[in-house]
Structure 1
Amino acid sequence: MELYDVDEFWKFDLRVGLVKRAEKLKRTRKLIKLDVDFGGEERTVITGIADQYSPEELEGKKFVFVLNLKPKKLSGVESQGMLIVAETEDGKVYLLPVPEEVPVGTRVW
C-alpha cells in the first residue's frame, strides 16, 4: 500500500449532497445520472452502479461526493463530481448514506 502525506488528502473537496433526481442513462448498462444539491449549487454526477442499484434507491438520499475532480464526459453527459461508495474485492458496491440531520453541503474529512 502506498502512503501519502495528510496534506494530499486535504486537496480533495468532499461534501454532503442530496440526490434530487436520478435516472438510468439510455444505452448503458451501469450508468446513472444524478442531479445533486450541494446547498446553493446543483451538479450533475454520473455513477456506474446501475447494475447493482436502481435510480429510485438513490433519489431523496444524502451521500458523500468528491467535488473538485476534473469534469468527465460519460455517455455524452458531463459528470461534475464522484459519488463515494464502498466496494468489496468481488465487486459488490455498498452505498454510504449520510444521516438526515447532516446539512447539505457540509464538508467531509
Structure 2
Amino acid sequence: MELYDVNEFWKFDMRVGLVKRAERMKRTRKLIKLEVDFGSEDRTIVSGLADQYSPEDFEGRKFIFVLNLKPKKLSGVESRGMLIVAETEDEKVYLLPVPDEVPVGTRVW
C-alpha cells in the first residue's frame, strides 16, 4: 500500500449531497445519472453502479461526494463529481448513506 502525506487528503472537497433524481442512462449497462443538491448548487454526477443498484436506491437519500475533480463525459453526459462508496475485494459495492440530520453541503473529512 502506498502511503501519502495527510496534506494530499485535504486537497479533496468532499460534501454531503442529497440525490433529488436518479435514472439509468440509455445504451449503458452500468451508468446511473444522479441530480444532486449540495445546498449552494445542484450537480449532475454519473455513477457506474446500475449493475448493482437501481435509481430508487439513490433518490431522496444523502451520500458523500468528491466535488473538486475535473469534469468527465460519460455516454455524452458531463459528470461533475464522484460518489463515495465501499467496495470489497470481490467487487461488491456498498452505498454509504449519510444520516438525515446531517445538512446538505456539509464538508466531510
TM-score, normalised via structure 2 length: 0.99
Partner Cα separation in structure 1 for residue 41 and residue 54 of structure 2: 24
Partner of 1:63: 63
SS of 1:94's equivalent? strand
Which residues of structure 1 form unaligned runs of 5+? none
Instruction: Kindly state the Cα deviation for residue 40 of structure 1 after the two structures are TM-superposed.
Output: 1.7
Which residues of structure 2 form unaligned runs of 5+? none
TM-score, normalised via structure 1 length: 0.99
RMSD: 0.3
SS of 2:104's equivalent? coil
Instruction: Report runs of 4+ in structure 1 exceeding 2 Å deviation.
Output: none
Partner Cα separation in structure 1 for residue 40 and residue 105 of structure 2: 8
Amino-acid identity (%):
83
Q: Give the letter for the 2:35 counterpart.
A: D
Count of matched residue positions in the alignment of Structure 1 and Structure 2: 109
